[in-house]
Amino acid sequence: MKKNLISIDITLGKYQTFVDSIIAFAQNKTSSYVCVANVHMLVEAYKDTAFAAIVNNADIVTPDGMPLAKGLKILYNIQQDRVAGMDLLPDLLVEAQSKQLPVFFYGGTDEMLQSTQAYLLTHYPNLKDVHFYAPPFRQLTSQEEQTIIAQINESGAGLVFVVLGCPKQEKWMSQMKGKIRACMIGIGGALPVMIGMQSRAPKWMQEYSLEWLFRLSQEPKRLFKRYLITNSIFIGLMLKAKAKNIFK
């Protein structure tokens, strides 16, 4: 079941049901994709109807950002668990290890993927089969695309973790649905946090929807404009939606 929040349809349910559903897709080799949605994704979808369609066609859209979970509470009085990529990634790896599911990491730099490989060997030593591919920073040729599709399918991976950043990873997953026989999850910035390349905000900041502020303090030059604009737009959209609900 999904519920529309301004521009995107968010999947509802308890945190564990998201994990269970994704693992079921992976075990069945169902060609599917999961969007891990935050304020940035919601605003991108609001500005671009084509991108909104990509997100809303996803098999699962998780409320990654606490503001989205709170938005569902404000507009619909729905008490929705937050399903953050930073929690989902390690939990899915635990399940993959337990169920002997091969996994594939697509995206990121060679350096990041090498660090990921070292991290997994230490923290998930019983993962059955792990594959990595860092695509070039350009559009793939048709032949290269067919080669990577074949590589992923031949690997037997049930889970494909896509590390391209929003909106590139969502567009890629949408294009690959029906071609890659696996569940694809756009994990974006969750991977560098998991392997220790970046830090995660303290728990109290997560609970008070201030994780964006922590990230801003880590990368002020890159993120200042994005957060200034997207957060302001999101607040405005929420106020508009709330007023619309009140005066129906």
Which of 160, 176, 194 is at the close of a domain? 194
| Mean of pLDDT over the chain | 91
Per-residue pLDDT, 208: 60
pLDDT, tens digit, 9 for 90 and up, residues 151-188: 999 999 999 999 999 999 999 999 999 999 999 999 98
Checking if the pLDDT of 143 tops 90, the result is yes
Per-residue pLDDT, 179: 97
Among the listed residues 223, 169, 175, the one whose alpha carbon sits nearest the alpha carbon of residue 198: 223
Same domain, 125 and 232: no
List 133's β-bridge partners, or say none. Answer: 106
Cα torsion through 153, 154, 160, 162, rounded to 10: -80
Position 70 confidence tier, pLDDT thresholds 50, 70, 90? very high
- pTM (global) more than 0.85: yes
Per-residue pLDDT, 232: 87
Q: Which residues contact 43 (CB under 8 A, 6 or more apart)?
A: 7, 229, 230, 233, 234, 237
Same domain, 209 and 178: no
3-state class of 35 per DSSP? strand
Is residue 92 within 8 A of residue 19, CB to CB? The reply is yes
Average pLDDT over residues 6-14: 97
Same domain, 8 and 117: yes
pLDDT, tens digit, 9 for 90 and up, residues 189-215: 899 889 887 666 667 666 666 676 666
Average pLDDT over residues 146-150: 96
Q: Bigger pLDDT: 204 or 103?
A: 103
- The phi, psi pair for 229, rounded to 5°, reads -80, -55
Same domain, 148 and 96: yes
The mean-pLDDT minimum among 20-34, 94-108, 202-216 falls in 202-216
Same domain, 117 and 237: no
Checking if the pLDDT of 247 tops 70, the result is no
Same domain, 83 and 161: yes
Q: Which stretches does DSSP call E strand in the chain?
A: 2-5, 8-11, 32-37, 60-63, 103-107, 130-133, 159-163, 183-186
Same domain, 45 and 166: yes
- Taking every pair of C-alpha atoms in the chain, what is the biggest distance, in angstroms? 56
Question: How many Cβ atoms are within 10 Å of 74's Cβ, its own excluded?
Answer: 15
Same domain, 127 and 174: yes
Same domain, 146 and 220: no
Checking if the pLDDT of 224 tops 70, the result is no
Domain count for the chain = 2
Per-residue pLDDT, 204: 65
| Residue indicated by tokens 């897709």 | 25
Position 62 confidence tier, pLDDT thresholds 50, 70, 90? very high
| Percent of the chain residues topping a pLDDT of 90 | 74
Q: Which domain covers residue 74, as residue numbers?
A: 2-194
Same domain, 174 and 61: yes
Per-residue pLDDT, 201: 63
Per-residue pLDDT, 29: 96
Same domain, 212 and 165: no
Integer Rg of the chain from CA: 18
Same domain, 52 and 86: yes
Per-residue pLDDT, 76: 94
The mean-pLDDT minimum among 17-21, 53-57, 63-67, 200-204 falls in 200-204
How many whole angstroms separate alpha carbon 20 and alpha carbon 229? 35
- Report the helix count and the strand count for the chain, using DSSP H and E: 12, 8
Assess whether the previous peptide bond of 167 is cis (omega < 30° from 0). yes
